[in-house]
Amino acid sequence: MKFGQVARRQGHDVDYLFRPDMYKIPQYDAIFIRALTDPLNSSYIAARIAELHGVRVIDDPASIFICCDKVNMYSHLQGANVPIPDTLFFQKSDLTIKKGAELLESIGSPFVLKAPNSSFSMYVEKIETAEAFVKIGHRFLRRADRIVVQKFIRSEYDWRVGVLGGEPLYVCQYTIPKKQWKVLTYVENGRIIYGPVKAFELENANPRLLETAVRAGSAIGDGLYGVDLKQVGDDFVVIEVNDNPTIAANEEDRKAPLLYEKVVRYLMKERG
């Protein structure tokens, strides 16, 4: 892994830890988690054990439990006045045809319905009828006691800005495949369709894009985030803040050669 190579080049020792090694966490200076994060997975245990023992960690526990729950994530963004599409939260008693019809009027048709703990776009659906609101709402409520309703924002791509410790780290565009509306789409027989990733130099990115992304990251914490945004006219709205963002060789890092160094320096508190 590139992070390991870079950290060694900077003079650090690097070990890879797996689940049964968690008891060793207190012996380290810093932990960098690369795994599916969720408060109910072992990655959260690693993060919280690190924090309890004063070991610096990406992702820190709060970033995980805020970002993994879209209700909490959007509440933080709203609280910090970060621009997001109109967003409302509902519970079981709200799932009525009447409410669905009202929403199609007020927030617009179609709107987007999300389960709070969706990832890989699996529990994010476009809603065009009141019946679909009730039916899909019930399905999503099996996963959590709240659901998210959001205004639909049309676009051809999502911007993804990597943010680390309150500063932009990399920028790219995730293209939405033709005839789809999500970057990742599951189709029959479990196949996943996704669009290409196009990287940009930070210097050439729209300053408003970067500023909005940094504000979104800061609304969550001081760690490493992948902020997804859509452009609306000259402005940008935040669609999601992800903890544990994907950093793939030749994609996110393509125009950000210092990405790995910066993450290692952050972990070792060597930033100045």
Partner 1 sequence: MKNRRVEKSSLIAEAIRHNYLALAEDKININLSGKYGYLESAYYFSQDLENRQETVRPTCKEILDAYIVPVSLEKAKLAGIGIPNYYLTNGYFEPPVIIDPINPFMWRSSIILKSSRKAQIAKSLTRNYTYAICCQELPPLSKVVTFHAVMGWSVSERYRKIAEAIWKIFSIPVATVRIIITDDDGIIFSSISDLAFESLNMRELAYLQERITWAE
Taking the complex as a whole, the smallest distance from the CB of residue 148 to ligand ATP amounts, in Å, to 8
Q: Is 144 in the site for ligand ATP (CB under 6 A)?
A: no
Nearer to partner 1, 168 or 221 (CB): 221
Taking the complex as a whole, the smallest distance from the CB of residue 197 to ligand ATP amounts, in Å, to 13
Greatest CA separation for the chain:
63
Q: Is 35 in the site for partner 1 (CB under 8 A)?
A: no
Phi and psi angles of residue 170, each rounded to the nearest 5 degrees, phi first: -160, 160
* Rg over CA atoms, the chain: 19
**Residue closest to 147 by CA, chosen among 155, 135, 158, 159:** 135
Nearer to partner 1, 71 or 263 (CB): 71
∠123-166-184 over CA atoms, to 5°?
A: 25
CA 101/CA 123 separation, integer angstroms: 21
Q: Which of 6, 71, 104, 112 binds ligand ATP (CB under 6 A)?
A: 112
Kindly tell me the number of DSSP H helices and DSSP E strands found in the chain. 8, 13
Q: Is 116 in the site for ligand ATP (CB under 6 A)?
A: no
Q: Are 223 and 164 in contact (CB under 8 A)?
A: yes
Q: Is 16 in the site for partner 1 (CB under 8 A)?
A: no
∠179-183-186 over CA atoms, to 5°?
A: 75
CA 125/CA 132 separation, integer angstroms: 10
Residue linked to tokens 């969720």? 38
Taking the complex as a whole, the smallest distance from the CB of residue 52 to ligand ATP amounts, in Å, to 28
Near ligand ATP in 211-230, by CB under 6 A: 228
Taking the complex as a whole, the smallest distance from the CB of residue 73 to ligand ATP amounts, in Å, to 9
Q: Are 247 and 253 in contact (CB under 8 A)?
A: yes
Q: Is 218 in the site for partner 1 (CB under 8 A)?
A: no
Looking at residue 10, its amino acid is: Q
Taking the complex as a whole, the smallest distance from the CB of residue 100 to ligand ATP amounts, in Å, to 17
Looking at residue 84, its amino acid is: I
Q: Is 62 in the site for partner 1 (CB under 8 A)?
A: yes
Q: Is 149 in the site for ligand ATP (CB under 6 A)?
A: no
Q: Which of 28, 31, 37, 38 binds partner 1 (CB under 8 A)?
A: 38
Judged by the rule CB under 8 A, the positions of this chain that interact with partner 1 are 19-20, 22-23, 38-42, 44-45, 48-49, 52, 61-62, 65, 69, 71-72, 75-76, 79, 91, 116-117, 143-146
Judged by the rule CB under 6 A, the positions of this chain that interact with ligand ATP are 85, 112, 114, 118-122, 124, 150-153, 158, 181-184, 228, 239-240, 242
